[in-house]
Amino acid sequence: MPSSPPAAPRFKRVLLKVSGEALMGAGQYGIDNETVERIAGEIKDAKELGVEISLVVGGGNIFRGMQQAARGMERASADYMGMLATVMNAIALQNALERIGLYTRVLSAIEMTAICEPYIRRRAVRHMEKGRVVIFAAGTGNPFFTTDTAAALRAAEMGCDALFKGTNVDGVYTADPKKDKSATRFERLSYHEVMVRDLKVMDQTAIALTRENKIPIVVFSIAERGGVVGALTGSGKSTTIIDE
C-alpha cells in the first residue's frame, strides 16, 4: 500500500531554537557528530514540507567545558565567550546541513567576516525567501542576554509564524518529569500562565518579546526522531504557548 502523505505544516515560517546541550548527544560537553547529523536530517524533513526555517543555536555544550576558565571573570567577558561558542555550533550545523544538500547561511551578531556573514535583517529575510536555512549565531551580540532572548528577537525580526524550542522533554510539564513521575504535560498555556507559574520554558525577557509580537512558542523534544516534523504538523507531542 502507498504510504499516506505527510500532514501539512501548521506554520509557513518558523524559527527553531536549538540548545547547545542538544548537540552533545550522550556526552558531557562538546559536539556529537551523529546527533548533529540527525538534527540536520530532521531540519531537511521539515524543509521538504515547504517550511521556511531559521535557527538560533546555543553554546552550552562548549561553554560548559570552559566554565572553569570563566570562573571569576566578569559577567560580560564570560557572556562573550558563550557567544563565540554559539558560532562554533552554528558552523557545525551548517556543515551537517550542507552535506545533505541544504543551502545555508550563518549570520553572526558579532562581525567575523572571514567565517560568516554579519547579521543584517533584510539580508537574512532574503536568504529565507530564497529557500536557505539561516543560522543566527552569537546571540544578540550583547552580554546579559540569553540565546532564548535572541531567538525571540530574531523570530520577531524575521516575521516568523512561531518559535519552536527543542528540548529534552516533549513539552512543558507541571514539574520535571524526570524527577516527578506524577508530572503532567500541558497541551496549551498562555504567556501569562508561564510567567505567573514561573515555568522554566524560556527566560522572562523572551516570553515578554514573543507575547508582545504575538508569536506562539511550541515546546517539543528534539531528542526524539521525528520531533521537528511532529511539532510542525501537530502529529507529535508538544506544548503550545499562546494567548487565546
Instruction: Write out 200-221 in H/E/C secondary structure.
Output: CCCCHHHHHHHHHCCCCEEEEE
Q: What is residue 76's predicted lDDT score, i.e. its pLDDT?
A: 87
Task: Give me the pLDDT at residue 2, please.
Answer: 52
Instruction: Quickly count: other Cβ atoms within 10 Å of residue 55's Cβ.
Output: 27
Would residue 4 count as lying in a domain? no
106, 110, 111, 116: CA torsion to nearest 10: -10
Work out the number of other CB atoms within 10 angstroms of the CB of residue 77: 10
Q: Helix, strand, coil % (nearest 5) of the chain?
A: 40, 15, 45
pLDDT, residue 244, reads: 67
Kindly report the CATH number assigned to the domain that includes residue 130.
3.40.1160.10
Structural domain of residue 27, as residue ranges?
13-241
Residue 5 lies in a domain: no
Number of domains in the chain: 1
Please check whether residue 8 lies inside any domain of the structure.
no
Strand 217-221 relative to strand 239-241, pairing: antiparallel
Decide if 1 is inside a domain.
no
Q: Note whether residue 105 is domain-resident.
A: yes
Residue 102 contacts residue 74 (beta carbons within 8 Å): no
Per-residue pLDDT of the chain in tens (244 residues, 90 and over written 9): 455 556 788 999 999 999 888 888 777 778 989 999 999 999 999 999 999 999 999 988 887 655 555 677 888 888 898 899 999 999 999 999 999 999 999 999 999 999 999 999 999 999 999 999 999 999 999 999 999 999 999 999 999 999 999 988 889 998 888 888 888 999 999 999 999 888 888 999 999 999 999 999 999 999 888 999 999 999 999 999 998 6
